[in-house]
Structure 1
Amino acid sequence: MKPIWIVDDDQSIRFVLEKALLRENLPTRSFTNPRDVLIALEAANDDNGPQVLVSDIRMPGGSGLDLLEKVKAKYPGLPVIIMTAYSDLDSAVSAFQGGAFEYLPKPFDLPKAVELIRRAVEESQREEVAEERMADTPEMLGQAPAMQDVFRAIGRLSQSNVTVMITGESGSGKELVARALHKHSPRANGPFVAINTAAIPKDLLESELFGHERGAFTGAQTMRRGRFEQADGGTLFLDEIGDMPFDLQTRLLRVLSDGHFYRVGGHGAVKTNVRVIAATHQNLEQRVKDGAFREDLFHRLNVIRLRLPALRERKEDVPMLTRHFLQQSAAQLGVDPKRISDAALVWLSNFSFPGNVRQLENICHWVTVMAPAQLIEPKDLPPEVGVTTGGLSEVPSSLSMGASALDPTVEHLPYVASTALPQASAIVVAPQAHSSAGDWELGLEADAIALLASGRHDVWDELTRRFESRLILAALAATRGRRIEAAQKLGIGRNTITRKIQELGLE
């Protein structure tokens, strides 16, 4: 494994962290100032670069926040932990705005510091696996005529720098198309920077796009480059452009016109050379008529329009995509890939997929975790797959968890994952579709009565353990194994989910 880089001018801090990480078999490399780190980064390659960077904020010869910005420019996926004083809230905010993985307050509890670094290592290794998988996997899959039209359009645009507008429903894969356009363009060696304009609060979006100068607002303790500067020489992907606030549309139009912009709080124009690819699921012509989108910006972006078909328009691709996502899910979760029967594929192919490709991917994650056998049958699919454009089909009746290995006489509570949300960006825990809303509670009561009647004296612990296990497994399936994100979705602490996974034997 690559070393953990520690940057601090305090020799005692470096010594304590080095010894603690050595006991955990984690190699380290220490620096006393940011300047030496940057020199080492220039000489580093993929084999001897840092696995995780842990840096103080205030050091002779440079700021940890400046170092964070420069490191992120070269290693965008590298987790960076910023060490700061308890009272230094502004620094903590700036660290997160700059892309820090986490901040570590001083004085810190050593075991907690080691645990935080271990989490960062896990995140780094997941990113490396994801990058390798992306390199080995085809960018896009599809044999349907509608997708072949998309592939041909990408080919025709391969030697062009023209602005492209991608339209299509949420979850249909617009960012994949944007990445393919970048990869096969003259700018392929430059950066690809993506931003979802609908996911960032209006007050922060201007700074995200154009950057800010030091002191531009509370917490802006250092100059920060925006996405336009980060994408210089490459491609900037503006997702959900239809949701951009009206006043920011004016600034965007100016950049597209002459390539110049001002950072927030800045007085000097910054020039950037960026190809813009925009995407939206909305009808921009209607947004223009409604006065919510500038007509001149619409025409500036709508040079070449590329429509991405919904999954229901390319049903012949469902079997290929399903097998691909099952392989991908198994690799991410570290389990053997499951196979899917022809009957189950028929059910999937007849589903309308309101969440498009993203929903199919979530379904594959769910069955990888929840299906009891290696061969996925129709009964193993989520109940929502029984929904067709003609109405509700009969939902398989055997979607409860079956007999428990913990107690062969009692069934698990009948939790299943719902993937019928239009956005399909998360998997939620819900009762079985063919049950009323309170049936799972009745099932819980029946289980409790059965366990109490058997004379056991650990009924509370037993049922609590099952309940927590199902919640955590569903959350991990929804976040593709990312523990921190799963904890956030469940509303529990990061340490809590780690401890529960260990206690419940879910490793």
Structure 2
Amino acid sequence: MKPIWIADDDPSIRFVLEKALAREGLSTRSFSHSREVLDALAAIAAGDDSEPGPQVLVSDIRMPGGSGLQLLEKVHALHPALPVLIMTAYSDLDSAVSAFQRGAFEYLPKPFDLPKAVELIRRAVQESQREEVAQDSPEIAPEMLGQAPAMQDVFRAIGRLSQSLVTVLITGESGSGKELVARALHKHSPVAQGPFVAINTAAIPKDLLESELFGHERGAFTGAQTQRRGRFEQAEGGTLFLDEIGDMPFDLQTRLLRVLSDGQFYRVGGHSAVKAHVRVVAATHQNLEQRVKEGGFREDLFHRLNVIRLRLPALRERREDIPMLTRHFLQVSARQLGVDSKRISDAALARLEQFNFPGNVRQLENVCHWLTVMAPAQVISVQDLPPEVLEVAALPASGALKPVLEPALQDPQAPSDEVLGQGSVPAGHGAFLASGVGALGEPRPGFAAAPAAVASKADWELGLASEVRSLLAAGRHDVWDCLSQRFESCLISSTLDTTHGRRMEAAQRLGIGRNTITRKIQELGLEAKNIYENGL
């Protein structure tokens, strides 16, 4: 952290503050004249001073070489975000008013209580750090990677929006990279030179969120000892990213709607309207239409935000991107840790592609950090993968994708893998087991394949409905993916069996293209069966 600068011509004051701040772990740099402060700032700006600039400036109001108020004025012009505490032995109204009019963070009359002075300096440090985070734009936006069609659609949308300042709503599951898309929208927009300010509306207590968004005036509430700019003001001329907008309290939604409609707002406790020249990008993992129906989200605000909607796919919807992302994150982790980048075997990559990644891209990134630290060799093998990946059953050798159920929910009467023949799709439980018909109407192994066992259209649809209900009752959140994969696996396996492994004929009979069936065979792991060796 940068040092606290102390400017006072009284050496005893400098000594006392230096020792008190040192006990708090805060470094200091002292000056006896205001001219010395300005010279040091100029030297730092010119690169002639090896020391960092100040985090906070504590200045006496009267010193040789220029008053503290004049110093405050000049420093504020050069560094408007730098908090300045003014100390004075002349505790009169004019001095206090002059100090605040010139932008002082706080006014400290002498003699002061030392613990109180240290506490004020700590608050000023926190404000300075908050301003730095809010105003600093990242040097390079995190790279977005993706070859999957769904990600290419997102990239195209960002390109089309590059010349527009229209409000954008980004939807997608947690960890799918919504903030990366927001940063990309900002980077490729007419306000790219302005700040990018992000706020997670779900992470801030309701009582503080209004002040965080709109700022507050001095004395607006207990503890508001100085005026504070909110995120809208911090994002002036740039982009404000409102993450998890679906969790915003209902009463604050009204204030946000007014800002979006009128382009102005009032600080908490304020009476003067503040203009907002800000591009708003919002994001949520929730279904806002459903939230509107439930009365938890204002319909007019929803329509105001939902001008352009970008849906970010979950990682399981773009599994073809997992190898590329894995190698990228392994390289990033290695750079961060200062070690050689590890390579990953094809078998380990294939196992990662089978994992559903409920935490999406963020979870994959964490897995790569874990592997960089924990994998013993330079080449990562399957057994090096973290427990949460290995605990999930791999795709069966037959190629049929079994749903990954909790052990207690598995069908206790289901035949073992040795009984389950090649190409079979194990049923879940319930109606499938009782009827002898597996998921999607396939006969269960162990039942006679008599004509009566061939399910009618109504039978397999009823069985499918029963399987859906069973998975939902088990608390699953990937029912669509699970059953879609099982359906496609059964469909392609059965057709290939009929065509004796001739993929071209199977594609024609299924009414799909050759490239499509080849891609599906790879995605579903059907090549691993090695039972269709005739090829195309």
Among candidates 174, 179, 183, match of residue 179 of structure 1: 183
Partner of 2:169: 165
- SS, match of residue 352 in structure 2: helix
Partner of 2:275: 271
Distance 1:292 1:302 in 2: 16
Indicate how the Cα distance of structure 1 residues 365 and 52 shifts in structure 2: closer, same or farther if over 3 A, else same: farther
Among candidates 404, 407, 430, match of residue 391 of structure 1: 404
- Alignment of 1:369 onto 2:373: yes
Indicate how the Cα distance of structure 1 residues 100 and 231 shifts in structure 2: closer, same or farther if over 3 A, else same: closer
Maintained 8 Å contact 2:146/2:321? yes
Q: Deviations over 1:159-196 (max 9, x none)?
A: 00000000000000001100100111000111111101
Distance 2:35 2:257 in 1: 38
Deviation at 1:73, TM superposition (A): 4.7
Distance 2:39 2:288 in 1: 48
Deviation at 1:91, TM superposition (A): 2.9
Distance 2:208 2:38 in 1: 29
Structure 2 residues not aligned, in runs of 5+: 20-26, 62-67, 84-105, 394-401, 408-475, 477-536
Distance 1:208 1:151 in 2: 31
Deviation at 1:100, TM superposition (A): 3.9
Deviation at 1:351, TM superposition (A): 0.6
Maintained 8 Å contact 1:5/1:31? no
- SS, match of residue 391 in structure 1: coil
- SS, match of residue 171 in structure 1: coil
Maintained 8 Å contact 2:57/2:82? no
Distance 1:32 1:159 in 2: 52
Map residues 190-339 of structure 1 onto 2, 5 A cutoff. Answer: 190-339=194-343
Deviation at 1:95, TM superposition (A): 3.5
Distance 2:80 2:345 in 1: 44
- Alignment of 1:140 onto 2:169: no
Distance 1:69 1:293 in 2: 43
Distance 1:169 1:284 in 2: 13
Indicate how the Cα distance of structure 1 residues 381 and 7 shifts in structure 2: closer, same or farther if over 3 A, else same: farther
Deviation at 1:232, TM superposition (A): 0.7
Distance 1:35 1:183 in 2: 40
Which stretch of the first structure deviates more once superposed, 296-305 or 376-385?
Answer: 376-385
Deviation at 1:379, TM superposition (A): 1.1
Distance 2:5 2:285 in 1: 44
Distance 2:405 2:44 in 1: 58
Map residues 305-454 of structure 1 onto 2, 5 A cutoff. Answer: 305-386=309-390, 387=392, 390-391=403-404
- SS, match of residue 53 in structure 1: coil
Maintained 8 Å contact 1:68/1:98? no
Deviation at 1:139, TM superposition (A): 2.5
Indicate how the Cα distance of structure 1 residues 150 and 258 shifts in structure 2: closer, same or farther if over 3 A, else same: same
Maintained 8 Å contact 1:165/1:305? yes
Deviation at 1:359, TM superposition (A): 0.5
Q: CA RMSD in A?
A: 4.2
Deviation at 1:88, TM superposition (A): 5.4
- SS, match of residue 172 in structure 1: coil
Distance 2:145 2:206 in 1: 35
Distance 1:239 1:270 in 2: 23
Maintained 8 Å contact 2:4/2:57? no
Indicate how the Cα distance of structure 1 residues 392 and 291 shifts in structure 2: closer, same or farther if over 3 A, else same: closer
Partner of 2:159: 155
Maintained 8 Å contact 1:93/1:219? no
Distance 1:147 1:270 in 2: 38
Deviation at 1:7, TM superposition (A): 3.6
Indicate how the Cα distance of structure 1 residues 70 and 280 shifts in structure 2: closer, same or farther if over 3 A, else same: farther
Aligned length: 354
- SS, match of residue 288 in structure 1: helix
Q: Deviations over 1:396-448 (max 9, x none)?
A: xxxxxxxxxxxxxxxxxxxxxxxxxx9xxxxxxxxxxxxxxxxxxxxxxxxxx
Q: Which amino acid aligns with 2:5?
A: I
Q: Deviations over 1:298-347 (max 9, x none)?
A: 11100000000001111111111111111111222222222211111111
Maintained 8 Å contact 2:6/2:28? no
TM-score (norm. length: structure 1) = 0.61
Distance 1:260 1:137 in 2: 29
Partner of 2:54: 53
Partner of 2:481: none
Maintained 8 Å contact 1:7/1:54? no
Indicate how the Cα distance of structure 1 residues 15 and 242 shifts in structure 2: closer, same or farther if over 3 A, else same: same
Distance 1:40 1:228 in 2: 33
Q: Which has the larger radius of gyration?
A: 2
- SS, match of residue 54 in structure 2: strand
Distance 1:180 1:210 in 2: 25
* Identity between Structure 1 and Structure 2 (%): 70
- SS, match of residue 293 in structure 1: coil
Deviation at 1:367, TM superposition (A): 1.4
Q: Which amino acid aligns with 1:302?
A: N
Structure 1 residues not aligned, in runs of 5+: 20-26, 76-81, 102-123, 395-421, 423-507
Q: Which amino acid aligns with 1:198?
A: A
Maintained 8 Å contact 1:163/1:302? yes
Deviation at 1:393, TM superposition (A): 11
Q: Which amino acid aligns with 2:251?
A: D
Map residues 484-503 of structure 1 onto 2, 5 A cutoff. Answer: none
Deviation at 1:89, TM superposition (A): 8.2
Indicate how the Cα distance of structure 1 residues 97 and 3 shifts in structure 2: closer, same or farther if over 3 A, else same: closer
- SS, match of residue 140 in structure 1: coil
Deviation at 1:218, TM superposition (A): 1.8
Partner of 1:111: none
Maintained 8 Å contact 1:94/1:220? no
Distance 1:72 1:341 in 2: 53
Deviation at 1:283, TM superposition (A): 0.4
Distance 2:334 2:46 in 1: 26
Indicate how the Cα distance of structure 1 residues 32 and 5 shifts in structure 2: closer, same or farther if over 3 A, else same: farther
Maintained 8 Å contact 1:8/1:55? no
Partner of 1:435: none
- Alignment of 1:98 onto 2:98: no
